[in-house]
Amino acid sequence: MTKFSDLKLDPAVLKAIAEAGYESPTPIQEGAIPHALEGRDVLGIAQTGTGKTASFVLPMITLLGKGRARARMPRSLVLAPTRELAAQVAENFDTYAKHTKLTKALLIGGVSFGEQDKLIDRGVDVLIATPGRLLDHFERGKLLLTGVQIMVVDEADRMLDMGFIPDIERIFSLTPFTRQTFFFSATMAPEIERITNTFLSNPARVEVARQATASLTIEQALIAVKPSRKDATFAEKRDVLRKLIRAEGDSCTNAIIFCNRKMDVDTVAKSLKSHGFNAAPIHGDLDQSVRTRTLEAFRDGSLHLLVASDVAARGLDIPAVSHVFNFDVPSHPEDYVHRIGRTGRAGRKGKAYTIATPNDEKYLTAIEALIKAPIPRGETPEISAARPSSSARQEPKPETAAKPARSRSISRSRGRDKAKDAAVDAEVNVEVVADVATTQTAAPAAQTTTEAAAAVAPSGPITTGSSSDPRRNSAAPAQPRERSRSNDRSRDNRGPRRDDAQIVGMGDHMPDFLRHAFGSKETTNSGE
């Protein structure tokens, strides 16, 4: 059996490996490290959990042993698709390079640019970064990639899934063509193969297992769920998940539960906590500090269940994960391999359960075609908590029941509007009747007042005329009602009211020319 001492690694590296408790390399390490130490490009293809990280970190430390970093010009570059994977690579570097003087910098999102700029300005031997944050520093003029001697792309197929391939191609163009490149992936999609043909020079291909195969140390089981109703699917899947965890008992020391959507991650974690489970969510929308604390709690055992999106599916090295539960069947078949690869690592036994509904049939077919084996069917726990009773099943669905409720509320509001309109009309009618009555009672009083004024007035032309005068009859106003505030404001705009003036005929609204006598020609002649 090959030992690390047979791989011509730096003595300082061998000492760190021994202190970490490792004696023999894994197949991917045994195949990749000798080619890397010879200076060749390496294309590594291996299933997750086989030690790919150490297969490029160990030769990188050995090759960088001689030389010195310059400010803003890293000597090597490691690209990782997620913050968690980049942080894990940094931890591996700290473990194996602790007896050397090599320096590193970690460039990931969620961390201040200022702190990262200080590290780059001092000069680093190894720069570990996610593509987006690396390009941010480059575009700000804080980083030069012309001094890169070794470039590593880890989890390249995940880079493809996350849409980082254009960024990877740009970063490749910014580095010297004389660099040495290590390219690692669990699968070889056509796009990945195109990149390797473009940017790798005669690489040594190291493939230690059939592409996209599940480890033999993982016991798989497919749990088929037939929901009673379409709107009860999510709740009944949660019930099945809880029963599966309880059925495992003490053998489930810890577990990762995968969901396809971030919002489902939060919901499932909240549901588990409400039922007494020690669970916490992790996904891309959480702050980096929260994600880091959650992972640390899961690693040290203070967190039992980690509910995650696929951000945690790739490359996270947590060797003691006993179980993996796929709450959702992944839409990409490669993700199934990476998810269940979180358990059964380093030769340990593990279990992986996948909860599936009839709508997941096409995804299951693609997964089984990829791994070239059927997923064993497991026994489905009886669904009780989420299944509605027979009486509840006869009730209309919430969405259909809500429509009549809305229509009734609308009809009630319309009825109230009609009643309000009727009340207003009645009030108007009452006011009209009152106006008519007031007019009938006020007209004689106005006429009497007019006659009294005529008796007092001096002789001359008649200003008011007789009661048969149509102009005077039409001008006799009704008793004025209490005016609204708007009318009061309009009156205020016209000037102060003359309360001492005698109201005759049209009252305040009588034009001034009507107050003067205009006798006809016949009247003037008769007066003569």
* pLDDT in the model for residue 419: 52
If you average pLDDT over residues 351-378, what whole number do you get?
93
Q: How many CA atoms lie within 13 A of 475 on its CB side?
A: 21
More confident residue, 525 or 46: 46
pLDDT level of residue 490 (50, 70, 90 thresholds): very low
pLDDT level of residue 238 (50, 70, 90 thresholds): very high
If you average pLDDT over residues 161-169, what whole number do you get?
89
**CA-to-CA distance for 403 and 456, rounded, in angstroms?**
77
Identify residue 311 by its one-letter amino acid code: V
pLDDT level of residue 186 (50, 70, 90 thresholds): confident
pLDDT level of residue 288 (50, 70, 90 thresholds): confident
Main-chain phi, psi angles of 144, to 5 degrees: -125, 135
The tokens describing 161, both together, are 């899934």
pLDDT level of residue 519 (50, 70, 90 thresholds): low
Residue 34: pLDDT over 80: yes
Report for 46-50, 175-179, 436-440: range of highest mean pLDDT: 175-179
Residue 22: pLDDT over 80: yes
* pLDDT in the model for residue 417: 52
For domain 218-388, give the CATH superfamily. P-loop containing nucleotide triphosphate hydrolases (3.40.50.300)
More confident residue, 339 or 522: 339
**CA-to-CA distance for 108 and 128, rounded, in angstroms?**
8
More confident residue, 382 or 324: 324
Report for 267-271, 384-388, 452-456: range of highest mean pLDDT: 267-271
- In sequence order, the 6+-apart residues with CB closer than 8 A to the CB of 70 are 123, 147
User: Measured between alpha carbons, how far is residue 460 from residues 464, 502, 504, 524 in Å?
Assistant: 12, 20, 18, 10
* pLDDT in the model for residue 106: 95
**CA-to-CA distance for 417 and 425, rounded, in angstroms?**
12
**CA-to-CA distance for 171 and 519, rounded, in angstroms?**
107
Q: DSSP letter for 286, please.
A: S
Decide if 4-207 and 218-388 have a common fold.
Answer: yes
Interhelix angle for 83-96 vs 11-20, to 10°? 110
Say what the pTM is.
0.60
Asked whether the beta carbons of 45 and 39 are under 8 A apart, the reply is no
More confident residue, 366 or 161: 366
CA dihedral for 126, 130, 131, 135, sign (positive or negative): negative
How confident is the model over 299-341, as pLDDT tens digits? 899 999 999 988 655 656 677 899 999 999 998 887 898 888 8
Instruction: Give CA angle at 133 (127, 134), nearest 5°.
Output: 45
If you average pLDDT over residues 259-264, what whole number do you get?
92
* pLDDT in the model for residue 526: 45
Ranges 105-119, 453-467, 499-513: which has the least confidence: 453-467
- On average, the pLDDT of the chain sits at 78
**Would you identify the CATH topology of the domain 4-207?**
Rossmann fold (3.40.50)
More confident residue, 471 or 222: 222
**CA-to-CA distance for 519 and 528, rounded, in angstroms?**
13
Residue 248: pLDDT over 90: yes
**CA-to-CA distance for 273 and 33, rounded, in angstroms?**
45
If you average pLDDT over residues 444-460, what whole number do you get?
43
Ranges 324-338, 363-377, 430-444, 489-503: which has the least confidence: 430-444
* pLDDT in the model for residue 98: 94
Report for 183-187, 215-219, 228-232: range of highest mean pLDDT: 228-232
Asked whether the beta carbons of 304 and 255 are under 8 A apart, the reply is yes
Torsion of CA 217, 258, 162, 330, to 10 degrees: 80
Residue 213: pLDDT over 80: no
**Strands 42-45 and 104-107, sheet pairing:** unpaired
Ranges 85-94, 237-246, 483-492: which has the least confidence: 483-492
The three-class DSSP label of residue 207 is strand
The burial class, CB within 10 Å (0-12 / 13-18 / 19+), for 408 is exposed
Identify residue 22 by its one-letter amino acid code: Y
pLDDT level of residue 199 (50, 70, 90 thresholds): very high
Residue 207: pLDDT over 50: yes
pLDDT level of residue 517 (50, 70, 90 thresholds): low
Main-chain phi, psi angles of 141, to 5 degrees: 75, 20
Asked whether the beta carbons of 351 and 324 are under 8 A apart, the reply is yes
* pLDDT in the model for residue 428: 43
* pLDDT in the model for residue 433: 42
Please state the domain extents for the chain. 4-207, 218-388
Asked whether the beta carbons of 518 and 471 are under 8 A apart, the reply is no
CA dihedral for 334, 337, 340, 342, sign (positive or negative): negative
Asked whether the beta carbons of 185 and 155 are under 8 A apart, the reply is yes
Q: DSSP letter for 479, please.
A: P
If you average pLDDT over residues 451-472, what whole number do you get?
43
How confident is the model over 53-112, as pLDDT tens digits? 999 999 999 999 888 888 899 999 999 998 888 998 999 999 999 999 999 999 998 888
Edge-to-edge strand list for the sheet holding 218-224: 218-224, 350-356, 323-326, 255-258, 305-308, 279-282
Residue 148: pLDDT over 90: yes
51-55, long-range: CB within 8 Å, 24+ apart, which pairs? 51/25, 51/26, 52/28, 52/154, 52/184, 52/315, 53/88, 53/89, 53/92, 53/154, 53/315, 53/317, 54/25, 54/26, 54/29, 54/92, 54/96, 55/25, 55/26, 55/28, 55/29, 55/184
Residue 438: pLDDT over 80: no
The burial class, CB within 10 Å (0-12 / 13-18 / 19+), for 507 is middle
CA dihedral for 380, 384, 386, 392, sign (positive or negative): positive
Look-up: residue for tokens 């209309």?
A: 396
Ranges 104-108, 206-210, 355-359, 506-510: which has the least confidence: 506-510
Ranges 161-175, 338-352, 364-378, 435-449: which has the least confidence: 435-449
* pLDDT in the model for residue 214: 74
Residue 241: pLDDT over 60: yes
**CA-to-CA distance for 206 and 26, rounded, in angstroms?**
12
* pLDDT in the model for residue 245: 96
* pLDDT in the model for residue 29: 93
If you average pLDDT over residues 432-460, what whole number do you get?
43
* pLDDT in the model for residue 389: 37
Asked whether the beta carbons of 345 and 49 are under 8 A apart, the reply is yes
The burial class, CB within 10 Å (0-12 / 13-18 / 19+), for 493 is exposed
The tokens describing 453, both together, are 């004024």
If you average pLDDT over residues 420-440, what whole number do you get?
46
Instruction: Give CA angle at 234 (231, 240), nearest 5°.
Output: 130
Ranges 138-152, 204-218, 224-238, 403-417: which has the least confidence: 403-417
